[in-house]
Amino acid sequence: MSSRDLQEETDKLETNSSNKPLKSGNNNDTLGPSSSSQRITESEIDVNDVINSMVDIEGHSGATVIFVGSVRNFGINGKVQRMYYESYAKMAENKIKHIEKMAMEKYGIKKIRIVHRIGELALGNNSVIIALSTPHSDDAFRACKYILAKIKQEVPIWKKEILSKGNEKWVDGKSIKTN
Amino acid sequence: MTSQLLPKIRVTVLYFAQIHETTRKKQEIMELSTNTSIKDLVSIILTRYPNIKNIKNVKISVNYHFVNSNSNPILKNDDEVALLPPISGG
């Protein structure tokens, strides 16, 4: 059986791949998740924009919970200087949409936004945000923890710790859940 | 008919994280025989990049759906295959 590289086509794909996230984010003020809202982005996460998207003037929700994950200065491989995130963008978008749908059904979520940033991030930069609103606060807190756990189990995103003296190490992660 | 005249398919193979540091490329297009299974392709990849064997719990997807790396479904032209090491997002 033979196989060979087609380097020219590969180069073309490198610049026009389904694996490449869109550059800019957008807002979404409708109830529930939006199919057009971007979940994976190379851009800085606009926390205020996400919080504002939870505003519900019709009052369906009495509780909004926001989780913001950011780059910490220490990791499993020692002192961290920066963090690099990579994703299989299209699959990651699909997985996050699925998690949103599952969580909405399970916890009665009225509004939800999840955004994960990729690329090279500095210490303190926000890497992920989960925002959701529900009628009652217990459901909102439990839903947020559920979603974060699902992201860690199911969404194809990898991070590499950039350490001192130019050392870099991928973080040993969890085997991706496939069902 | 020589092997060069047999029908071929083209499959895009994507490598992520530790895997693309082993392959030294993030993706490539492979030209394969029309009867190539997922198992066959995995064998080709591991022959070409044997160090991938050192990475545990690598999962395979075809067109964004996970498949068993030992499975026999036949690949089609323009399929997108991805090799996914353990994840660490969030």
pLDDT tens for each residue of B28-86: 999 999 999 999 999 999 999 999 999 999 999 999 999 998 888 899 999 999 999 99
Output the domain CATH number for residue B70.
3.10.20.30
Output the domain CATH number for residue A97.
3.90.1170.40
Put simply, the chain B residues between 1 and 60 with a CB less than 8 A from any chain A CB are 3, 10, 12, 14, 16-18, 21, 25-33, 36, 40, 44, 48, 56-57, 59
pLDDT score, position B72: 83
Count up the domains in chain A and report the number: 1
d(CA A52, CA A63): 14
Whether B90 is in a domain gets the answer: no
Alpha-carbon Rg for chain B, nearest whole angstrom, is 13
Q: What's the domain range around A48?
A: 34-170
Going by C-alpha positions, the residue among A167, A159, A133 that lies closest to residue A69 is A159
Cβ pair A10:B29 closer than 8 A: yes
Q: What's the domain range around B75?
A: 3-84
Q: What is the DSSP letter of A108?
A: T
Among A13, A69, A174, beta carbon nearest to B87: A174
pLDDT score, position A47: 96
Whether A61 is in a domain gets the answer: yes
d(CA A61, CA A74): 37
Taking the CA of residue B47 as centre, how many other CA atoms within 13 Å lie in the half-sphere pointing to its CB?
10
pLDDT score, position A16: 36
d(CA B68, CA B38): 8
Q: Are B87 and B48 in contact (CB under 8 A)?
A: no
Q: Which two tokens stand for residue B25?
A: 């490329």
pLDDT score, position B14: 98
A7: pLDDT confidence band, cut at 50, 70 and 90?
A: very low
Residues of A with CB under 8 A from a CB of B: 1-6, 9-10, 13-14, 17-19, 69, 85-88, 90-92, 94, 116, 128, 148, 151-160, 170-176, 178-179
Whether B89 is in a domain gets the answer: no
The length of chain A, given as a count of residues:
179
Going by C-alpha positions, the residue among B21, B16, B64, B60 that lies closest to residue A157 is B16
Read off the pLDDT of residues A108-161 as tens digits, 9 standing for 90 and up. Answer: 999 999 999 999 999 999 999 999 999 999 999 999 999 999 999 999 999 999
Whether A22 is in a domain gets the answer: no
Q: How many CB atoms lie within 10 A of CB A110?
A: 22
Whether A21 is in a domain gets the answer: no
Count up the domains in chain B and report the number: 1
Partners of A112 in beta bridges: A132
Read off the pLDDT of residues A22-72 as tens digits, 9 standing for 90 and up. Answer: 443 333 333 455 555 799 999 999 999 999 999 999 999 999 999 999 999
For CA atoms A34, A175, B69, A20, give the dihedral sign. positive
Three-state DSSP at A172 gives: coil
Residue type, B36: T
Whether A13 is in a domain gets the answer: no
ipTM for the assembly: 0.91
Residue type, B7: P
pLDDT score, position A8: 36
Q: What DSSP string describes A5-51?
A: B-HHHHHHHHHS-TTSPPS------SSS--SSS-SEESSPP-HHHHH
Whether B53 is in a domain gets the answer: yes
Q: Are A71 and B41 in contact (CB under 8 A)?
A: no
Whether A8 is in a domain gets the answer: no
pLDDT score, position A36: 55
For CA atoms A57, A58, A59, A63, give the dihedral sign. negative
pLDDT score, position A82: 97
